[in-house]
Structures are given as structure tokens and as C-alpha cells.
């Protein structure tokens, strides 16, 4: 392949260097495009635009490959733990035993949140969606740790913010749930591991013993690993964009939580269960709903289907589908929507509309079914996604900062009015 790309504008040829990634992906480096040619690129939804060089996550949408720092998602989901994967994503290498113990201990030391957080929580009505509550509580860390606002913080200071973020996220998530159901909050029990601690804060009731079910804790840990990073998606790009203005790590991640909330992104897992329930209540006629999804005059989309990058299959969906079978089997749960989901998938995968557009089940299609089996309420599904994505957001924020990336500031093609005179109206 030629080492330069040529662009002809108005009969004049301009050359741009090519950049090749470690997995042989090729990009045209247009850093000096405007300066050289006077033109910019236009790419709605950034479908063809690389915003950065990154060494964290590799995915190949055609082959259905996802790797964190070179390790396959299949292997990590089977053999690793969420905190080990978090360390890998954030610091670049798998921890040795001593490093993992130190990291786990540091996190345990910071699981408590400031008591005044309860006052903020009390300000939210119980109707508040837990994602909005969690984004607000997360951002409030800037008030409790104002030193995090210093854009020139030392590496130790940054590490402390990273540890605090990972330590407090499950507390915020569980408290956002407690607010929604109107129950008193539980404090973190540091004798438990990351997922066990979260489950106890979620489900323990006053004056009742709560025992963590290892099947549930293990399934949750696996789900968090599967969600831990996904390169430059909507929420991660948001975290990097906000962070590029040198905003604090807490406000950058809070922005990521808000971006994830939308139904086309992380919010899809909640929408999938709502959709499957509607289909069940409607009599379970899968063909009718497939036809609705294909009808361009109907706004309905098959939630949990399709992906911007995966055009063959989503490797996370494969693992989750199997995990859903395992978890429901182990817990002895027979969820009627699982059967509807399987039938929907079967019909869609044979239908030319979905085949031609390369629409396959994504990570969110089966994750909601597992969350439901684990007892997680539907409004908390996207919160679970956010808990899983946290180390990815942190790693991407840290990489952006260490690479000294410039402030994110896209251009536009202006299509509004051309100059026109202001005509005053009589304002008296």
C-alpha cells in the first residue's frame, strides 16, 4: 500500500501520510488538512473518524474480536476478575499478586462516602432515575475532594482519585437504588469482595441477615468484565472530550454516565426488557414485532440489536447468551422473556432486512435477562453497565491526559443565514 493518501480538490493534489496501528488498521493523518487545503472533513456521527491513538482496547467489528490490552475478552471473562481487569485497563499490565492485593486493599479503604452525600441523595425524589442520581453523586466528589480540580495533579493524586472512583461507585449505585425504593441506605461491608459488597448494599434490609449468593456475585463480576471498555464509543468519547478541557476526573466520568444513559447506548439494556415484556404481554407474536422494526414509518427498533462497529457478531453477546443460560439454570429460574428473546433472535437472523444490514444481537440483548435473574431492578440495568464501564472510562481519561491531547473541538459546516442587517422593532 502507498504510504501517502492523495486528495484532489479543485484539480490540485494534496498528500497526507498514513498511520498504521499495531493491528494493521490504516488511518489518513489529516492533522494539517485545513491548513493545507482550506477544507475540513464532514463525518456525521464520526462513523469514519479516529479521534485518537489508543493502546487500551482493540476491536475488529467484522471478525467479532474484542481485546483489552491484547487479552481476549473470552479469556478474561472466563479466568479473570473485575478488579484485575480494571488494573489491566488502567495501568496497562495485569497485576502480580502483590499489586492486586495492594490495589484491592486501597479500594477497600475508600468505599465509604462522605455523610453529607446523604443530604444530596435526600434532595432527589424517589421518582429520580438512578442514572441521573449516580451521575450527580459522582460529580459531587469534586466538592468533597477539591484537589481533584487541579489539572496538574501528581501521579499519586491521580491514583487516589482513580481508587476513590472505583471504591465509591458501587456505594453510589446502591444508594441511588435505595433512594428509588425509599429504603434506608446500607454502608459498605469491607469483609466482602467488590461485587458481594455491592449486592449487600443493594439488598440487605434492616434487621435481616444477608448472605451473598456466590452464583450471583460471580455472574455480576463476569458482566462487569464484559462491559469494562469498548474503545471510543459515545460515553468514552464524552469522558475524553470533557477531560480534554482539563476538567476533573469526577466531572469527566459524570459526563460519561450521562452519555451512557441514552437508549441507543447503555440505556438499551433497560429498553430490551421493556420490549420483551411488551411482546410477552401482547401475546408473544415475534413476527409482528419484527415487522414493526422493519417498518420505516414505525419508530420501533429492535432494542439490543445492531451495533456501530460489530457487523458480524458481538463477542460479548455470545458470552452473555451462554452466561444467561448458566445463571438461570443455576438459580432455577424460568424466565418467559428468555424464550421470547431466543425466538426473536432466531427470526431476525434469518430475515433479509437484518441480514443485509448486518444487525446482530449486541451486548445488551441478553444482559438484562441476567440482571433480572440476579434480582437487579430494570431501572438499575444501565447503572450496572456504568459500574462495569468505569475502569474503561478511567483508563481512557488517564491515557488522554498522559498523551497530553489537545482540547477536543470539532469543526462544522455552517448552513445558516448569510449576513443580513438588523432591523429594530419598536420595543416600547
Please give the residue ranges that form the binding site for ligand CMC (CB under 6 A): 45, 230, 233, 264-266, 268, 293, 301-308, 357, 359, 362-364
CA angle 12, 18, 23 (to 5 degrees): 155
Where is 389: in which H helix or E strand?
Answer: helix 381-402
Query: Between 196 and 368, whose beta carbon lies closer to ligand CMC?
Result: 368
Alpha-carbon span 254 to 239, nearest angstrom? 8
Q: How far is the CB of 315 from ligand CMC (least distance, A)?
A: 12
Query: Between 40 and 264, whose beta carbon lies closer to ligand CMC?
Result: 264
Q: How far is the CB of 174 from ligand CMC (least distance, A)?
A: 23
Query: Between 57 and 141, whose beta carbon lies closer to ligand CMC?
Result: 57
Alpha-carbon span 38 to 136, nearest angstrom? 42
Q: How far is the CB of 254 from ligand CMC (least distance, A)?
A: 18
Nearest to 229 by CA among 97, 54, 24: 54
Query: Between 164 and 230, whose beta carbon lies closer to ligand CMC?
Result: 230
Alpha-carbon span 296 to 123, nearest angstrom? 42
Alpha-carbon span 270 to 409, nearest angstrom? 32
**105 SS3 class:** helix
User: How crowded is the C-beta side of 279, counted as CA atoms within 13 Å?
Assistant: 29
Nearest to 261 by CA among 162, 381, 171: 381
Q: How far is the CB of 272 from ligand CMC (least distance, A)?
A: 7
Query: Between 152 and 352, whose beta carbon lies closer to ligand CMC?
Result: 352
- Residue 69 DSSP class: T
Alpha-carbon span 54 to 21, nearest angstrom? 9
Q: How far is the CB of 269 from ligand CMC (least distance, A)?
A: 8
Query: Between 188 and 266, whose beta carbon lies closer to ligand CMC?
Result: 266
Alpha-carbon span 291 to 367, nearest angstrom? 24
Alpha-carbon span 243 to 161, nearest angstrom? 14
Query: Between 58 and 305, whose beta carbon lies closer to ligand CMC?
Result: 305
Residue 66 near residue 73 (C-beta atoms within 8 A): yes
No. of helices (H) and no. of strands (E), the chain: 19, 6
44 catalytic per annotation: no
Query: Between 183 and 301, whose beta carbon lies closer to ligand CMC?
Result: 301
Query: Between 196 and 266, whose beta carbon lies closer to ligand CMC?
Result: 266
Instruction: Please name the residues in contact with 94: beta carbons below 8 A apart, sequence gap of 6 or more.
Output: 71, 84, 87, 88
- Residue 418 DSSP class: P
Q: How far is the CB of 366 from ligand CMC (least distance, A)?
A: 12
51, 256, 360, 406 from 259: Cα distances, Å: 17, 5, 23, 21
Where is 181: in which H helix or E strand?
Answer: helix 155-181
Q: How far is the CB of 348 from ligand CMC (least distance, A)?
A: 8
Catalytic residue chosen out of the listed positions 229, 230, 307, 335: 307
Nearest to 83 by CA among 200, 216, 228: 228
Q: How far is the CB of 123 from ligand CMC (least distance, A)?
A: 30
364 catalytic per annotation: yes
Instruction: Please name the residues in contact with 374: beta carbons below 8 A apart, sequence gap of 6 or more.
Output: 216, 219, 220, 327
**Sign, Cα dihedral of 177, 378, 264, 324:** positive
Q: How far apart are the first and last CA of the chain?
A: 70
Tell me the residue number closest to ligand CMC, measured at CB: 306
Lookup: cell for 241 = 472530550
Q: How far is the CB of 296 from ligand CMC (least distance, A)?
A: 7
Residues classed as catalytic:
307, 364
Amino acid at each position: 500500500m502507498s504510504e501517502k493518501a492523495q486528495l484532489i480538490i479543485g484539480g490540485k493534489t494534496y498528500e497526507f501520510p498514513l498511520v498504521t496501528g499495531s493491528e494493521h488498521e490504516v488511518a489518513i493523518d489529516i492533522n494539517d488538512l485545513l491548513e493545507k487545503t482550506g477544507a475540513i472533513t464532514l463525518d456525521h456521527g464520526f462513523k469514519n473518524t479516529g479521534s485518537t491513538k489508543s493502546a487500551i482496547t482493540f476491536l475488529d467489528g467484522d471478525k467479532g474480536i474484542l481485546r483489552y490490552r491484547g487479552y481476549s475478552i473470552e479469556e478474561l471473562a472466563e479466568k479473570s476478575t473485575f478488579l484485575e481487569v480494571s488494573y489491566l485497563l488502567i495501568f496497562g499490565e495485569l497485576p502480580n499478586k502483590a499489586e492486586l492485593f495492594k490495589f484491592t486493599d486501597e479500594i477497600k479503604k475508600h468505599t465509604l462516602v462522605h455523610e453529607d452525600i446523604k443530604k444530596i441523595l435526600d434532595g432527589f425524589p424517589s421518582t429520580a432515575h438512578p442514572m441521573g442520581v449516580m451521575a450527580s453523586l459522582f460529580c459531587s466528589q469534586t466538592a468533597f475532594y477539591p484537589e481533584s480540580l487541579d489539572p496538574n495533579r501528581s501521579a499519586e493524586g491521580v491514583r487516589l482519585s482513580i481508587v476513590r472512583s472505583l471504591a465509591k461507585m458501587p456505594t453510589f449505585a446502591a444508594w441511588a437504588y435505595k433512594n428509588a425504593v425509599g429504603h434506608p441506605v446500607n454502608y459498605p461491608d469491607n469483609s466482602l469482595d467488590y461485587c458481594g459488597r455491592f449486592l449487600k448494599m443493594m439488598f440487605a434490609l434492616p434487621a435481616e441477615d444477608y448472605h451473598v449468593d456466590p452464583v450471583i456475585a460471580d455472574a455480576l463480576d463476569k458482566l462487569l468484565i464484559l462491559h469494562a471498555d469498548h474503545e471510543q464509543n459515545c460515553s468514552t468519547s464524552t469522558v475524553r472530550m470533557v477531560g480534554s478541557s482539563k476538567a476533573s476526573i469526577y466531572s469527566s466520568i459524570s459526563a460519561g454516565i450521562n452519555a451512557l444513559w441514552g437508549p441507543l447506548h447503555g440505556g438499551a439494556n433497560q429498553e430490551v426488557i421493556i420490549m420483551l415484556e411488551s411482546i410477552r404481554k401482547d401475546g408473544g407474536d415475534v413476527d409482528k414485532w419484527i415487522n414493526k422494526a422493519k417498518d420505516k414509518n414505525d419508530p420501533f427498533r429492535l432494542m439490543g440489536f445492531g451495533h456501530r462497529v460489530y457487523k458480524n457478531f458481538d463477542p460479548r453477546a455470545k458470552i452473555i447468551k451462554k452466561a444467561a443460560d448458566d445463571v438461570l439454570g443455576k438459580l432455577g429460574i424460568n424466565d418467559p422473556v428468555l424464550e421470547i428473546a431466543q425466538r426473536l433472535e432466531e427470526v431476525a437472523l434469518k430475515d433479509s432486512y437484518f441480514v443485509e444490514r448486518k444487525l446482530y444481537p449486541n451486548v445488551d440483548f441478553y444482559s438484562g435477562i441476567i440482571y433480572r435473574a440476579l434480582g437487579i431492578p430494570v431501572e438499575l440495568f444501565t447503572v450496572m453497565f456504568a459500574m462495569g464501564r468505569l475502569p474503561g472510562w478511567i483508563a481512557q481519561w488517564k491515557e488522554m491526559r498522559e498523551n497530553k491531547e489537545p482540547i477536543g473541538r470539532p469543526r462544522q459546516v455552517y448552513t445558516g443565514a448569510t449576513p443580513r442587517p438588523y432591523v429594530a422593532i419598536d420595543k416600547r
